[in-house]
Amino acid sequence: MNKIKLTSAHLIPLSFLVAILIGTLLLSLPVSSVGGNWTPFTDALFTSTTSVCVTGLVVNDTYQYWSHFGQAVILVLIQIGGIGVITAVSTMMMLARKRFSLSERLMLRDAMNLENLNDLLGFLYKVIRGTFAVEMVGACFYMIAFIPRFGAAKGIWVSVFTAISAFCNAGIDVLGPDSLAPYQNSPLILTVTMALIIMGGLGYVVWQDIDSKVTFGRKRGLSPSQIFRRLSEHTKLVLTLTGSLIAAGTVFIFAAEFSNPQTLGGMSLPQKLLNSLFESVTFRTAGFATFSQAGLTDVSCLGAYVLMFIGGSPIGTAGGVKTTTVYLAILGVHSYIRGKNDAHVYKRSVREEAMRKATAIIEVSMVTVFGLTMLLVASNPVGIEDGLFEIVSACATVGLTRNLTPTLNTVGKLIVTVGMYLGRIGPISMAFFLTGGKKDESGVHYAEGNFYIG
């Protein structure tokens, strides 16, 4: 009998699926709920998926329904899902001082979406060390506000939970029924949350590049502009796109919601600016909210679809199709319109394959969103606006909802669960999974045909 050989295209999606199933089993147990009852399979599966896929949509209030054990399970699933299941397993192997085989190194490389094996374990160590360091610093800042409010024990737990959830861009919290709404006037809480979300969404490669270039720049006495010029083209593009999207989103939300009494209308001007900035950041992938998303205007919902779909940046905790993906796809269109055979970013050429891949990711993701939205609207009594908001949020692993998630029937919950899973591993990764990631090596070439376009 021939052994079945699993490639990265198989193992990475399967690793997330196994983590989800283990989480489902644990969350189903009576010890996981406050009432001590068995949790229905669909609800446990949904909660496990939203945790592992760092989405944030919930069918049961995390602070009220789940026991301390259940909340701890959710937090562990968020942490594992944030850094990636393969990365988490590799970290445990590294701590156990187990030697990595070549196949295991290749698997880790593919799981972290890297291009080579250069100092792979050193990079993994920096990722884990940096992740825990940022999360703990964030938790310490949260404690300033949460310990006086909740007391020492609960304040520390809430701080740690919120910090990990924010950095992993999960958006799940144990604060209460209104998420961060009680803190919409707190610059400390909102600023710390935004910082954690953005840092998680920038990507680990960007971290490392900034760290090494800033360290080098300080030793040589370089100015900030000189240090920026030394950054890799990927880092510069990510920083530029991230800053531009946050700024544009802030202005858009501020203008669209300025007089809306259900969102920003009743706030002072500084509060409107702060909450517009926070909404712009959380739209991209986080799922925290300082006001009900059900109150957003129609034009804000249209902007939300775009910001959520784009998401954060590659090789991090963010969701969406990613900032660089959208940019490269637009760059490909721009090059074609101008009749160019190549494209450049920061005086570096962009491979045609990269632009084709970006276009494919966007196309497959859009088809997935469209298909799941149709299924959700057909199976649940919801309007297209709320249904599309829910599915884009799920597929982009954002976690925001217009109060729809708890009202979904069993079929609706399963549809959103599939959306969250596909959003985390990527719809195009599922296509590779089904095909085994094999390329066509038949060598057969056909004569060109004439096809009329446009």
Say if residue 388's pLDDT is above 50. yes
The helix or strand, by DSSP H or E, that contains position 16, with its residue range, turns out to be helix 8-28
Digit-coded pLDDT (tens) for 37-85:
999 999 999 999 999 999 989 999 999 999 999 999 999 999 988 887 6
- Reference 238, options 135, 311, 167; nearest CA is 311
* Sign of the alpha-carbon torsion through 388, 389, 391, 395: positive
Q: What distance in Å separates the CA atoms of residue 164 and residue 207, rounded to the nearest whole number?
A: 17
Say if residue 96's pLDDT is above 80. no
The whole-number average pLDDT for the span 406-417 is 95
**Taking the domains of the chain in order of start, what are their residue ranges?**
8-432
Q: What distance in Å separates the CA atoms of residue 162 and residue 169, rounded to the nearest whole number?
A: 10
271, two tokens: 């509060």
The answer to which of 98-112, 161-175, 200-214, 227-241 has the lowest mean pLDDT is 98-112
* Sign of the alpha-carbon torsion through 400, 402, 403, 407: negative
Buried b (16+ CB within 10 A) or exposed e, 175-198: beeebbeebbeeeebbebbbbbbb
Say if residue 27's pLDDT is above 50. yes
Say if residue 1's pLDDT is above 70. no
Digit-coded pLDDT (tens) for 266-309:
999 999 999 999 999 999 888 899 999 999 999 999 999 999 99
Q: What is the pLDDT of residue 124?
A: 78
DSSP SS3 for 270: helix
Q: What distance in Å separates the CA atoms of residue 236 and residue 115, rounded to the nearest whole number?
A: 18
